[in-house]
Structure 1
Amino acid sequence: MASMAITRHELSRRREQLQDLQRYLAVLEADHDGSRAKLLGFRQRYLEALGPLMRELDEIDAQLHQATALLSEALKRQGVDAPVSASQRAKPWPDVPALPDATPLPPEPTGPLTDLPPPSLKTLYRRAAMRFHPDLAPSGPEREVCEQRMMIVNEAYASSDRHRLESLLLAAGELPEKVIGGPADAVRAWLGLCEHLVQGRIRIVRAQTAVLQNLQMHQLRVAIERAEAGGMKPLDIMATRLRTQIAERRQELYIGERVGSDASLAADFLRKRYQRLTGLGLQ
């Protein structure tokens, strides 16, 4: 394979491009981490303000569902069919995971810019097999790790994924010159590998940021903070609504526990409750 020493101008230009990518990545990561911190802070504030009321409402709803289920069963024994809606359970708050750890960039090759072509894909595969083949590892956890890595090696070789084989070998301590050639071609290949890793990280950060911004909790935070900036107190309004719902449910529970002796009243109570919960009318 023919090889040319990388020129100082090309080396400087590629390094600047890599640094630009890294700066852009740092901005994306900072934006993600800032949004995540705001979201976690909002969740804490939201739960402190409304959590006790939401739990109280859930407990009353559970009691009410149990009472109406018993009422419906009693009516069925009397030949009266009355609908009962499914129990309404509060949805758990979604996780807001942090960004996964980034793969560290390999060290830059050193030495004079002499010509040494990078090894072939097959040579890389052989070197990876010598390092990770499970038959060469002692039994136990270390062998299991080697089996998993060897599966990755085989997949990378089958798909001609040179970058993946290089990353595995460099992470395992293989000399850069033996993995990406060099030092002349090693520097060029090192820059390409670093660009590949940084661009992959950018895709991960963008994807996770999009997931975070699509969370209902994020949209709720934006709406509440916008209302607060306009002088409103949305959390106080929501707390008032929850207290109203709690009072209504308690009244409903009180009625439900006392209409059992009258089949007509009990059936009418269950139908109205079903209609309120589902929004569906009954014939």
Structure 2
Amino acid sequence: MTREIAKRPTPEEAELGRKRAELAALEATLAQRELDLATLQGELQAFERRYLRIVGLRLAQLDELQARIAEAEAARRPRDPGAEERASRARAQAQESAEAAGQAREPGPEDARFEPSEGLRKLFREVAKQVHPDLATDDAERARRTRLMAEANDAYRAGDEARLQAILSRWEASPEAVKGEGVAAELVRVIRKIAQVEERLRAIDAELARLKATDLYQLKAKVDEAEQQGRDLLADMAAAVDDDIAAARTRLEALTAQRAET
């Protein structure tokens, strides 16, 4: 009577199993962190458009008035180099403000807040887990993954669930989705993927920290906090700029009248 002897895994196979489990956990973490980064980027882009539409256009108008005031004052004092310099600086500021606010001249659907659905978030996480460039094993595969991941980021920020699903389906049907052969080779690949994922996680953390240190993020945080308290901070800022615009117009009209009298 014989007994079937169960095949015990080799040390390499056992190590491969452990490394695969480690990689799977890291891949899940990476997918979530990529989602966090893409979401924050989308939120900041949407907030910037909203800010420019509500406040930025007004600031550009105010800067234009102040430039015209400075130019009028310089015209009254043609021998004053300081007045000419102030007028030049004011005009440069007005041009800069006009360029910054240019994208908000035609408000449209893109001015809406970025609020991705749970389905969209889940789909993006799955794409990131499967397609992420840091899971590549050679340069050609990395380039393809990078292109697909860029498409996925664009689709996510656009709220295009169908496009995200198409990217995922395309990847699942590709040869790159098929795993390699041999325990030793696979172990090396998994170890390298772990190192790549860990490096990308550090890069994401650094980018998140950088974004959260920007003036735009700080302003968004204040606006969000005010909203929770029932206040519209952007509307308050716009009202304050409107007051400044009215004062600047009055000043410019006075200067224009004085020049007409001389």
Q: Which amino acid aligns with 1:234?
A: L
Q: Which of 60, 63, 69 in structure 1 is aligned with 2:65?
A: 60
Equivalence for 2:14: 9
Give 3-state SS (helix, strand or coil) of 1:232's partner: coil
User: What's the offset of the Cα at 1:52?
Assistant: 3.5
Provide closer, same or farther for how the CA distance between residues 168 and 36 of structure 1 changes in structure 2, counting only shifts above 3 A.
closer
Q: 1:6–1:188: 8 Å Cα contact kept in structure 2?
A: no
User: What's the offset of the Cα at 1:81?
Assistant: 6.9
Provide closer, same or farther for how the CA distance between residues 54 and 202 of structure 1 changes in structure 2, counting only shifts above 3 A.
same
Matched, 1:203 2:202: yes
Task: Provide the identity percentage.
Answer: 25
User: What's the offset of the Cα at 1:169?
Assistant: 7.5
Give 3-state SS (helix, strand or coil) of 2:74's partner: helix
Matched, 1:21 2:26: yes
Equivalence for 2:227: 228
Q: 1:60–1:250: 8 Å Cα contact kept in structure 2?
A: yes
Distance 2:219 2:247 in 1: 25
Matched, 1:194 2:199: no
Equivalence for 1:105: 135
Provide closer, same or farther for how the CA distance between residues 61 and 81 of structure 1 changes in structure 2, counting only shifts above 3 A.
closer
Alignment of 1:23-42 (within 5 A): 23-42=28-47
Q: 1:61–1:249: 8 Å Cα contact kept in structure 2?
A: yes
Distance 1:67 1:49 in 2: 28
Q: 2:134–2:200: 8 Å Cα contact kept in structure 1?
A: no
Distance 1:72 1:236 in 2: 38
Q: Which runs of 5+ in 2 are unaligned?
A: 1-9, 102-130, 144-180
Q: 1:18–1:194: 8 Å Cα contact kept in structure 2?
A: yes
Give 3-state SS (helix, strand or coil) of 1:257's partner: helix
Equivalence for 2:106: none
Provide closer, same or farther for how the CA distance between residues 253 and 167 of structure 1 changes in structure 2, counting only shifts above 3 A.
same
Provide closer, same or farther for how the CA distance between residues 54 and 170 of structure 1 changes in structure 2, counting only shifts above 3 A.
closer
Q: Which amino acid aligns with 2:135?
A: L
User: What's the offset of the Cα at 1:36?
Assistant: 1.6
Q: Which amino acid aligns with 2:138?
A: S
- Using the size of structure 1 for normalisation, the TM-score is 0.55
Q: 2:73–2:255: 8 Å Cα contact kept in structure 1?
A: yes
Provide closer, same or farther for how the CA distance between residues 63 and 188 of structure 1 changes in structure 2, counting only shifts above 3 A.
same
Larger Rg: 1
User: What's the offset of the Cα at 1:7?
Assistant: 3.1
Q: Which runs of 5+ in 1 are unaligned?
A: 94-100, 107-165, 173-181, 264-283
Provide closer, same or farther for how the CA distance between residues 105 and 82 of structure 1 changes in structure 2, counting only shifts above 3 A.
closer
Equivalence for 1:281: none
Q: Which amino acid aligns with 2:133?
A: T
User: What's the offset of the Cα at 1:171?
Assistant: 5.8
Whose helix proportion is higher, 1 or 2?
A: 2
User: What's the offset of the Cα at 1:262?
Assistant: 10
Give 3-state SS (helix, strand or coil) of 2:133's partner: coil
Q: Which amino acid aligns with 1:42?
A: F
Q: Which amino acid aligns with 1:253?
A: L
Q: Deviations over 1:131-176 (max 9, x none)?
A: xxxxxxxxxxxxxxxxxxxxxxxxxxxxxxxxxxx7347769xxxx
Which shifted more, 210-219 or 6-15? 6-15
